[in-house]
Amino acid sequence: MASSPTVLIRLVASAYSIAQKAGVIVRNVMAGGDLGIVEKTSSIDLQTKADRLVQMSICSSLAQKFPKLTIIGEELVVWVDPLDGTKEYTEGLLDNVTVLIGIAYEGKAIAGVINQPYYNYQAGADAVLGRTIWGILGLGAFGFQLNEVPDGKHIITTTRSHSSKLVNDCISAMNPDNVLRVGGAGNKIIQLIEGKASAYVFASPGCKKWDTCAPEVILHAVGGKLTDIHGNTLQYHKEVKHMNSAGVLATLRNHDYYASRVPETVKKALVP
């Protein structure tokens, strides 16, 4: 199944539609007033009613349309984050929130869909909320306007809620002009492709494969690059470790510049 371009297009089209419906679920839960928040491992690792409903919706919809697909088998793997930026969602930072559906073949991320449920939410009461960005390697990425940070500017986007000395040491070594601390891996990649940041630097093992699969495709489809802190390509086959234990380094341009500035102390602390 994975070798058929027709099946891939059908899968991406389904993921696009499903992601849009997921965005509606996310907004409806917020509007209902009961987020149903539970702590998974700590007070900054949260799950909401929206996480649970979106996960159920995505998995059941894909299972109905692609009954032989294992969501997470064989060579084709789907990585789903039903609510990327959950903590920010609970705090009302709604533009940080995304729904992520990534598709990998033979361990390589090849297609991805990002829904931003609250895109345009600050534009007024009559604004149309939400957008869906999608991409396929070799075809391109769509649903946004590609922009770049001006030459010579070094703007870093990084974690808002999972900072540490290691994270901050790595950022300082980049000699940034500005640092943006926001939630959600999907949101940070959107900042790169829309010219709000030049590098996403996260020197920590906190990120998971479902956080990076879909965003990586969007970034790579427009000429960017996402690796771990050592410069290694991430793998997305079904047996892979879910944690991105060596962190994340992503750029739209000049990846080598940022990779060369990662301190050796940081590299030694983050084992692939």
148 domain-assigned = no
- Whether 137 and 184 map to the same domain: the answer is no
The one catalytic residue in 41, 48, 86, 265 is 86
Question: Which of 114, 142, 170 is where one domain is finished?
Answer: 142
Residues in Cβ contact with 93 at an 8 Å cutoff, skipping those fewer than 6 apart: 85, 182, 183
Question: Which of 102, 120, 142 is where one domain is finished?
Answer: 142
Taken in order 139, 134, 46, 163, is the CA torsion positive or negative?
A: positive
For the CA atoms of 161, 28, 72, 227, the dihedral, rounded to the nearest 10 degrees, stands at: -40
The one catalytic residue in 6, 34, 45, 51 is 51
- Whether 182 and 113 map to the same domain: the answer is no
pLDDT of 50-63, one tens digit each? 999 999 999 888 88
- Whether 43 and 129 map to the same domain: the answer is yes
How many independent structural domains does the chain possess?
2
Q: Which domain holds residue 133?
A: 5-142
- Residue closest to 135 by CA, chosen among 231, 254, 256, 226: 226
Decide if pLDDT at 43 tops 70.
no
147 domain-assigned = no
Residue 81 marked as a ligand binder: yes
- Whether 123 and 189 map to the same domain: the answer is no
149 domain-assigned = no
Residue 83 marked as a ligand binder: yes
Question: Considering all CA atoms of the chain, what is the largest pairwise distance in Å, rounded to the nearest integer?
Answer: 51
Question: Which of 142, 170, 201 is where one domain is finished?
Answer: 142
**N- to C-terminal Cα separation, the chain:** 31
**Mean pLDDT of the region 171-190:** 96
126 given a catalytic annotation: no
Write the CA distances from 231 to 36, 128, 197, 224, 227, integer angstroms: 39, 39, 19, 13, 5
154 three-state secondary structure: coil
Higher-confidence position of 131 and 161: 131
CATH code for the domain in which residue 38 is found: 3.30.540.10
- Predicted TM-score (pTM) of the model is 0.91
- Whether 128 and 161 map to the same domain: the answer is no
- Whether 137 and 175 map to the same domain: the answer is no
41 given a catalytic annotation: no
- Residue closest to 118 by CA, chosen among 133, 96, 140, 100: 96
- Whether 136 and 161 map to the same domain: the answer is no
pLDDT of 137-158, one tens digit each? 999 999 999 999 999 999 999 9
225 domain-assigned = yes
- Residue closest to 258 by CA, chosen among 234, 235, 227: 227
Of 3-17, 93-107, 148-162, which range is least confident? Answer: 3-17
Residue 75 marked as a ligand binder: no
Decide if pLDDT at 88 tops 80.
yes
Strands 98-105 and 108-116: antiparallel
